[in-house]
Structure 1
Amino acid sequence: MTQHTNINEVRAFHARLMAVASGSDDHRLERVFASVPREAFLGAAPWKIRVNERYVETPSADPVFVYQNCLVALDAAKGINNGEPFLHARWLGAAALKGGETIVHIGAGTGYYTALLSMLALPNDHVHAFEIEPTLARRASDNLAPFEGVTVVQGDATELPLPDCDLIYVNAGVASPPGPWLKALRPGGRIVFPWRPSKQLGVALMLTRAEASFKVQLLGPAWFIPCVGASDPVGCVKAPSLPQARSISAAWLTEDRAPDDTAVAVCRDVWFSDRSG
């Protein structure tokens, strides 16, 4: 006798995996991953799953196929995907969102991870979701309509002003973090972003605003499509090697403090040191 898969059981098990992958003891992560259906943000099935630079189409519209650690196409022609859940679970665990925080999500796509961010910052949260692709921004607006406190902005987040916030969550590859982004962070605010200072290096960083500097935490490897307006490698005038990137512990805005002999990376608006602030 064939045993049919129960999608609620699949989603619940996926959520348990994400909670473990997060490295966090925040029990809300499992509940949030279980309560937000990924397939609702992916468009019409069958879906295209990216493997080894190729897309493989799911054999049916059964949502069980998207509850794995995979990239799912949002716009296959442009290489835009809904990101790997394990990676985002790790980032969300590190960000340690609290109720009432204000979040800026850059590169929101169709809003799946925006929805998770929103739920983790309940109650009284506000999420500003920026998406530069008009079609994806429209889809995000529709998908996020049931989520209170979420505003979708179609436009270039490197050109538009950001509100004062507690977390900036970036889902596009950044060579040189724009100074205005860092200035938008409140004391204790965090920015999580995939850093691509050179063709050879792709890592995720979390910068936390301290009194005069930013504490830096490495979150592992990360490869994303380029962030329009912040992906030109010319913006990083001194790129680190991987061992140097692993040694980074602090960062400063260049306008606040000029790079010194501890600098292992220097970008247009910010530089990174292997010494604590």
Structure 2
Amino acid sequence: MDGHLNELRAFHASLMAAASGSVDPRLARVFKLVPREAFLPPGPWKISGPDGRYYETPSDDPAYIYQNNIVALDASREINNGEPFLHASWIGAVMLRPGERVCHIGAGSGYYTAILSVLAAPGGSVEAFEIDETLARAARHNLEPYEGVSVTHANATEADIPASDVIYVNAGVLAPPPAWLRALRPGGRLIFPWRPSEETGLAMLVTKLASGKLRARPLAPAYFIPCTGGASARDRLAAAPDAHAAATIRSIWLTSERTPDESAIAAYEHVWFSSLAVE
């Protein structure tokens, strides 16, 4: 069984490294090292199908979870362990380096937190936030073998976010809270699933430049469960953009520092998204 499992992990890791779009040789090793099953309920597992329904695996053979599938953590509440290839692409996009400080918002049971922590080693750290008490407790237990990781049971839209090199958000937001943007160190990266409307959802990568300006780059479509707290539709100052308009965004601004202008693609009470490129 050990040989079979090692073979599964190695093959899955090679696919994850490819999905990351990164040439970082550490990624395949990290994806092989961190066991997905250690962060899931005992098998058989419930797998989310293309129709949105759950399908139970015939057995607890790990072959069923070393695929690009979404596995339920709590099917009754539709809480899942996210799609591996999507997360691989995000991890490749943020280009996490050893020694960096990471804030993981929406840690779930801790699987992707563990991957982030290994990539931040040596010398780095991960502070994870999870709003669900049961999941936070599970993540704390699951992450005990990993160094430099802490788990806080809190709403990250209201908590004190530490100064971070990477903020990795796994809950859909209408607009990132200003505190998240201010917490980015120079050169820091924020990646989050932006959901300006029911029809439009995409990953957004934000980089804080040395000047303090916030460069934004839309990535692939991404749909996550909504983040509790933060901006809501009533904070919107203009109509929600469609997918075509959202793809033109090149920067993010705090309204306290710059008033929305003709380049605004989406605007909220505290934050607005612009087509203006920044250097």
Give the TM-score normalised by the residue count of structure 2.
Answer: 0.96
Q: Are 2:41 and 1:43 aligned?
A: yes
- Residue correspondence of structure 1 range 107-122 to structure 2 within 5 A: 107-122=106-121
Q: Is the 8 A contact 2:106 2:171 kept in 1?
A: yes
1:178-197 paired onto structure 2 within 5 Å: 178-197=177-196
1:171-196 CA distances to partner (integer Å, 9 max, x unpaired)?
Answer: 01101210011101101111100001
| Structure-1 residue corresponding to 2:68 | 69
- What does the per-residue CA deviation read over 1:212-232, in whole Å, with 9 as the maximum and x for residues that have no partner? 421111120001001000362
* CA 1:88–1:215: 2 relative to 1, 3 Å: same
The SS at the match of 1:252 is: strand
Structure 2 CA distance, aligned partners of 1:228 and 1:99? 31
Say which SS state the counterpart of residue 108 (structure 1) adopts: coil
Partner in structure 2 of residue 244 of structure 1 = 245
Matches within 5 A, 1:78-227: 78-210=77-209, 211-227=211-227
Question: Structure 2 regions of 5+ residues with no counterpart?
Answer: none
Return the alpha-carbon distance in structure 1 between the equivalents of residues 231 and 40 of structure 2: 26
**Separation in 2, partners of 1:208, 1:33:** 25
Aligned partners of 1:28, 1:231: CA distance in 2, in Å? 36
* Deviation digits for residues 146-192 of structure 1 (CA, Å, limit 9, x no counterpart): 10100000011111111111111000110121001110110111110
Is the Cα contact below 8 Å between 2:170 and 2:224 reproduced in 1? yes
Q: Is the 8 A contact 2:161 2:180 kept in 1?
A: yes
- Contact 1:177/1:269 (CA < 8 Å) preserved in 2? no
Local SS of the residue matching 1:198? coil
Contact map agreement 1:103 1:167 (CA 8 A) in 2: yes
> Does 1:32 find its partner at 2:27?
no
Output the aligned Cα RMSD: 1.5
Task: Note the C-alpha offset of 1:268.
Answer: 2.5
d(CA) in 1 for partners of 2:3 and 2:58? 15
Q: 1:219 to 1:258 in 2, by over 3 A?
A: same
Structure 1 regions of 5+ residues with no counterpart?
A: none
Amino acid at match of 1:61: D
- Provide the C-alpha distance between the structure 2 equivalents of 1:257 and 1:231, rounded to a whole number of angstroms: 18
AA at the equivalent of 1:235:
D
Residue 237 of structure 1: CA displacement? 2.9
CA distance in 2, matches of 1:43, 1:272: 39
Letter in 2 for 1:157: A
- Residues in 1 aligned to 2:74 and 2:267: alpha-carbon distance in whole angstroms: 33
Kept after mapping to 2: 8 A contact 1:90/1:219: no
Q: Is the 8 A contact 1:203 1:221 kept in 2?
A: yes
- Count matched residues: 275
> Which digits, 9 at most, give the CA deviation of each residue in 1:219-259, with x for residues without a partner?
20001001000362333333211111111111111111111
Contact 1:127 1:150 in 2 (8 A): yes
CA distance in 2, matches of 1:267, 1:117: 31
State the one-letter code of the partner of 2:13.
A
Q: Mark the CA change 1:150 to 1:208 in structure 2 (over 3 Å): closer, same or farther.
A: same
- The one-character-per-residue Cα deviations of 1:121-148 (angstroms, maximum 9, x if unpaired) are 1111110000011110010000000101
Deviations along 1:84-119, whole A, 9 cap, x unmatched? 000000000000001111100000000000000001
1:12 maps to which of 10, 13, 20:
10
Secondary structure class of the residue paired with 1:220: strand
1:165/1:186 contact within 8 Å kept: yes
CA distance in 2, matches of 1:17, 1:199: 31
**Conserved? CA contact 2:173–2:230, under 8 Å:** yes
Alignment correspondent of 2:277: 276
Match of 2:254 in 1: 253
CA distance in 1, matches of 2:47, 2:126: 28
CA deviation digits over 1:11-58, x for unaligned, max 9?
Answer: 101100111111110011110000001011002111111112100011
